[in-house]
Amino acid sequence: MIYRVMTVCTGNICRSPMAEIVLRSRFEAAGLDVEVDSTGISDEEHGNPVDRRARAVLARHGYPTGEGHHARQVSASDLPSRDLVLAMTSQHARALQRLGGEPVMFRSFDPTADAPDVDDPWYGGPGDFERCLAEIEAAADGIVEHVRIALA
């Protein structure tokens, strides 16, 4: 049985697809068979690709750029089939709880995190996207270890 992880942000074009891509890379490097996808709590970006600024920062750091990604809204029917649902912010966690989910805060896996939320880079510039990626990367190894233990 494959372990399934979902990352969730607002529109599914910046934070959650960046986290999906980073986690997929880390799980692969760890030799773990984990399926990762992402969604948003809103349908405002439905069908859109990963934001160009997110793609640029991913490429600068050697990650795939999410080609073929199409933003989609999370639904209650998505949640039971995921072993771990990771919310980017407390607002996202509340929305997921209203759908019947039991989300975990993404940054809770970063022992150095000074805030619970992954910063939203949408209204910022390249530095904001760099900071967002750094927050995602800082939690990624903790998430990999959590899944490794769950699979043991």
Is residue 110 annotated as a catalytic residue, yes or no? no
**Residue among 14, 15, 51, 107 flagged as catalytic:** 15
Q: Tell me the CB-side half-sphere exposure of residue 89, using CA atoms within 13 A.
A: 15
How far CA 49 is from CA of 10, 54, 69, 81, in Å, comes to 14, 10, 5, 24
Distance CA 139, CA 113 (A): 8
Of 83, 119, 120, 128, the active-site residue reads: 120
Active-site residue 37, yes or no? no
Residues in the chain: 152
132 assigned to active site = no
Alpha-carbon span 90 to 116, nearest angstrom: 7
- The residues that are catalytic are 9, 15, 120
